[in-house]
Each structure stands twice: as C-alpha cells, then as structure tokens.
A and B are shown apart, each in its own frame.
Chain A
Amino acid sequence: MQWEFRDDRPIYTQLIEQIQLRIVSGMYPSGSKLPSVRDLASEASVNPNTMQKALAELERLELVYSQRTSGRFITENQQRISQIKEQLADEKTETFFLQMQQLGYSKSETIERITRSN
C-alpha cells in the first residue's frame, strides 16, 4: 500500500485514515509493533510532527497504544478493530450512494445495479 495524499485536506487526517486502513486490512497485524515515528514519517515523506499528531489521534481512538520504553503497538482488541472496519465501510458505502445519486440513480436503483453486476 502506497502513501497517497490529496490536496484538499490536512495531511494528518489522511494519515489517520491510511493507517486505519492498514490496521483493518491486517497489513499492520493486531498486537504488532509499529515502526518508529521517524521511520514512518520518512516512509510517507511527511514531517515527523505530523505523523506524531496522527498517531496521537489513533491512540485516542484506541487503535494503537504506546508502551513507555518499547514503542507503539497495534491494539489487541479485535472488537475495536472490527468497529473501525465497520465505520470505514459505512463511510465508503455512503460516499458511493452519494456519487450514484449525483449520476441520477436512487438508492434502490443503485442496489439493483449492484446485484445485477454480480
């Protein structure tokens, strides 16, 4: 997964989303150790302060936790990860319906199209 940033929003919010995605998808497995802030920042070519800010927010969301001396880890709480996964899925679905609406499809028409394409 590549780090990609769009122009219209702050970098740190995009970092939060992308790290969430990495956790939910298992790329960063539950209970595993995260790379250091500096390494992560350098990998994403962003400022370490920005990365720090994003990780602090992820800590607040209880997706990662830090251990005083040994670094940051992904939560072992599977339930929390599932919650975030569902939240992300809801957001994506909503955006999709919105885009379809802009094309002139009602919700039921959209659903019909999806079932047909399968």
Chain B
Amino acid sequence: MENILECRGVSKIYTQFPALNFTNLTVKRGRIVGLLGPNGSGKTTLIKMISGILTPSSGSISINGIPVGAQTKNMVSYLPERTYLNDWMKVRDIIDFFSDFYTNFNKEKAYDMLKRLQINDGDRLKTMSKGTKEKVQLVLVMSRETDLYLLDEPIGGVDPAARDYILDTIISNYSENSTVIISTHLIYDIEKILDDIIFINQGNLFLAASTDEIREQHGKSIDAYFREVFRC
C-alpha cells in the first residue's frame, strides 16, 4: 500500500473553537514531510489526532489502511512538543523502559546514536540542558522501528551544529518503508531534507505539494515562499 496516512474529512473542534477543518489528505510511504504553518494553525492538533491522543470531532484517519486506535499504536512513533519523561531517570533507565514498553524498540540503535551525540547514558535527564534533553527524546523516538514518525518541533532548542546532526540522524534512520512527518517553524534549516510540504493555515489545508514543485513554480525557497504566503 502506497499511502501510509489517509485523513478523510477530519475536523477538530475545541468547545466551539474549530482548530482543524481538513477536507482530505494523504501521505505516501517513504517520504519526509514538512508540516508547516503559522502559530495556532493546527499542526499539533493534527499530529495528536494521527497519534491517537486526540479523537477527531468528525471524519476519519487511517494508518496503513487501519483506523487510528489500539492497533495503530505500534505503527506510530511520536515526539511530542513537551517532554513527558520523568526527569529523575537516567538515560539508560529510560532506554530500558522504552524497550520494555515498545516491541519495536531497537536498543542497539539507541545506544549508537547516543554515543555519536556524545550523551552519557548514566546522566539523569534533570541535569541536562534543554537541547540535550531534546536530543535524548529524538533518539528514543527514532530508535523505534516503525512506519510513521511524528516529530513535533524536534529541533527548536538545539544549536545549529547539532541541528545538522539531528537532521542527518533522521535521514539515515528512516527506511524506505516509513514516513517522517516533521512540524517546525525552522523551515530554512530542514527544507533540504523534505520531499513534500503540507502548509496549513487557520485549520485549513492550504497546500500539499512536493518541495521540488514549489521551488520550481515559485523560484524561491520554501522558507521564502512561506514568508510570502503568511505575511502578517
């Protein structure tokens, strides 16, 4: 099956406030997709619905053709915006925790990435800087061998050099059979690695196209195009 993700007529209303009003959206397998939009446009709402944390007010979302639910939990690896890990835990304890919890967690991969990022597995989360914590979380998420990775603002707190390394980690750790959806404001930093772009604005799908198409049509970077479209 070529489509990994399908959204049909999905909407989400938070007590009267419509956060998301999608007609349809499909995402193909083997792609790195940027989910872009201004603040409050519904990016996180969409990601949370795909991961099954929120239920849509109407419409349906399916992953690998299966409606989001208990069965799809193992197909999705989700990096939330905020950390939910206990900060008194040591990195190696968290890794054990994850490998107990997820059948598709690859411990070796996790330790390998930690080593390359020069993170000590005996350190406790609470002793780490914001950026290092983000790195640990990303390692945990990318160490699961799964179909769909949902990364909500993965590089916000990380310095530019580590940013490059993290992007490299994303590139080299996803397989042709999986898809990565990245939501971010740091478009310029990541647009080189994106296959496709999803622009959302005020809860509506504004544009879904390939990065090459946008560059070719508009003769400018995705970042510049974004600034033009969403000029305040």
Residues of A with Cβ closer than 8 Å to B? 5, 7-12, 38, 41-42, 45-50, 53
Contacts and interface: CB of A to CB of B under 8 A. Distances in A.
Contacts of A9: 215-216, 219
B103 to A, nearest CB: 26
A103 to B, nearest CB: 24
Nearest to A11: B192
24 contacts: A5-B192, A7-B223, A8-B215, A8-B219, A8-B220, A9-B216, A9-B219, A10-B216, A11-B192, A11-B215, A12-B212, A38-B172, A42-B168, A42-B171, A45-B193, A46-B171, A46-B192, A46-B193, A47-B171, A47-B192, A49-B30, A49-B31, A49-B195, A53-B212
A8 B218 CA distance: 8
Contacts of B220: 7-8
Contacts of A12: 212
Contacts of A5: 192
B211 interface: yes
A43 to B, nearest CB: 10
Interface of B: 30-32, 164, 167-168, 171-172, 192-195, 211-212, 215-216, 219-221, 223-224
A53 B164 CA distance: 22
Contacts of B221: 7-8
Given A42-B171, A45-B171, A11 B219 contact: no
Nearest to A46: B192
A49 B29 CA distance: 12
Given A42-B172, A49-B30, A49-B31, A7 B193 contact: no
A41 B167 CA distance: 11
A83 to B, nearest CB: 26
A47 B172 contact: no
Given A5-B192, A46-B193, A11 B212 contact: yes
A45 B168 contact: yes
Given A7-B221, A8-B221, A11-B192, A45 B164 contact: yes
Contacts of A8: 215, 219-221
Contacts of B164: 45
A38 B170 CA distance: 12
B168 A10 contact: no
A8 B164 CA distance: 21
B211 to A, nearest CB: 7
